Amino acid sequence: MKKFLLLMLMFPLLSTAQTDHESTFRKIYDSALTQSKCYAWLDDLSNKIGARLSGSENAEKAVLYTKTQMEQSGCFDKVWLQEVMVPKWVRGEKETAFIRDGKKKTAVPICALGSSVATPKVGLEAEVVEVHSIAELETLGTQRLKGKIVFFNRPMDPKHVDTFTSYGGCVDQRGKGAREAAKFGAVGVIVRSMTLRLDDYPHAGNMGYGDLPRDQYIPAAAISTNGAELLSKTLKANPKLRFFFKQSCETFPDVLSYNVIGEITGSTHPQNIMVVGGHLDSWDIGDGSHDDGAGVVQSMEVAHIFKNIGYQPQNTLRVVLFMNEENGGRGGDQYQAEAARKKEHHIFALESDCGGFSPRGFTFDGSAAQLEWAKQTQSLFEPYLVHVFKKGYAGVDIAPLKSPNLLKAGFRPDTQRYFDHHHAATDTFAAVNKRELELGAATMAALVYLVDQQGQ
């Protein structure tokens, strides 16, 4: 690995090497734009299988489908399933909710948050207290919150150009809002959906109760942004209004599922492993095309591109389709546990989990020397309108992976439309552009190629 780092530092992209890399890049992009299979694979995942929440029948269909496709593609030396125990949370009947303002009842769209408990069978109705942060709960205290439904209404900040920054600024109310509200005697939680759009689609996502005793768990649901605006406006006119919601979700014992892994053995340094992957599971109210069907098929397409252009990796390449990113992260944890048990040596890991939109670049988690190497490659990507090469978080599923001097990267497409669809019923195949998806796969393959060229 010392040699790998030295090569990174010494990588000046001299004229001969530059020309060779440019030629290979052109082949990679040509293959993706004319011979790709990723859009057809996504069509099958989305329209023939559909939503793929961990522990569901569709998740298992997706495991078998992607394993079969990788086996039949002829791209891999080996394809296998890696066992992983995953949570099984079932939404149950469609949720209902309404605002009761005196004698007037107005229905609003909601969906239970992942891992939430159900309401009583007859539903739950109580007065509402609107807050804009978890910290605000403490200022209100038990006297104000006991017996109430807490309504978290902090919107995503539209001033950030990177919408993931906006998301990060308010997602804590979804993740731990119920846990914190329960400490003050609240009986339920309603959370504004994590999207910049005003629409009628509630956005799912996971939440947790931390170390709360089970008898203190309270139900939590997301409300659409239009519903949140209406509830807030109505509350200002009538602070004593009541809110009703009903959900029948349930958590069952963990079940067996799988990561799907395809491997191309390195021709020169097979002991060095490069990973490219996305997560196979998705939320259950759309079909998970952007989150993360796109990342799954783009990762598979990397191997397909290499086959089409006749490129044999010098280091071992693994395409890993992780299970259970959305409500547990068990797939990433299990992959790392197996890698540690086998004393495997990983030199690179790339994750695609930001949608199938136009590629913009990568964020890198590594040393200063590795980041400098990555920035030196930028000129090769510029003709393809890819320009973001910066230090940052790489991804949930590869976060647990550990190896000496491991470089991790997160694929970063354009973010402006991602949260229109994220965890919502609008995350469908129709929302994915074929050409954008293919360009993303090519960009990922190009980076894997460069790492392979330097990562001996």
Asked if residues 356 and 289 have their Cβ atoms less than 8 Å apart, the reply is yes
Q: Give the separation between CA 144 and CA 154, rounded to whole angstroms.
A: 19
Q: Give the separation between CA 120 and CA 142, rounded to whole angstroms.
A: 22
**CA quadruple 306, 307, 308, 311: dihedral positive or negative?**
positive
Q: Give the separation between CA 343 and CA 338, rounded to whole angstroms.
A: 8
Distance, C-alpha 295 to centroid of its chain: 9
Dihedral of CA atoms 312, 313, 318, 321 in degrees, nearest 10, equals -70
Q: Give the separation between CA 219 and CA 222, rounded to whole angstroms.
A: 11
| Half-sphere CA count of 317, side-chain side, radius 13 A | 31
* The one catalytic residue among 125, 180, 325, 326: 325
Angle, helix 368-376 to helix 2-9, in steps of 10 degrees: 50
Alpha helices in 107-238 (DSSP H): 135-145, 163-168, 172-182, 225-237
Residue 325's nearest CA partner among 365, 283, 281 is 281
Residue 179's nearest CA partner among 191, 164, 167 is 191
Token pair listed for 318? 């693994």
For residue 298, give every residue at least 6 positions away whose Cβ sits within 8 Å of its Cβ, in sequence order, or none.
38, 278, 352, 356, 411, 437, 440, 441, 444
Asked if residues 191 and 228 have their Cβ atoms less than 8 Å apart, the reply is no
Angle, helix 434-454 to helix 294-309, in steps of 10 degrees: 60
Backbone angles phi, psi at 207, to 5 degrees: -140, 170
Between β-strands 220-223 and 188-192, what pairing exists: parallel, antiparallel or unpaired?
A: parallel
Active site residue 325: yes
DSSP state of 452: H
Residue labelled with tokens 């086998």: 342
- 276: helix, strand or coil: strand
Backbone angles phi, psi at 390, to 5 degrees: -145, 160
Residues with catalytic annotation?
325
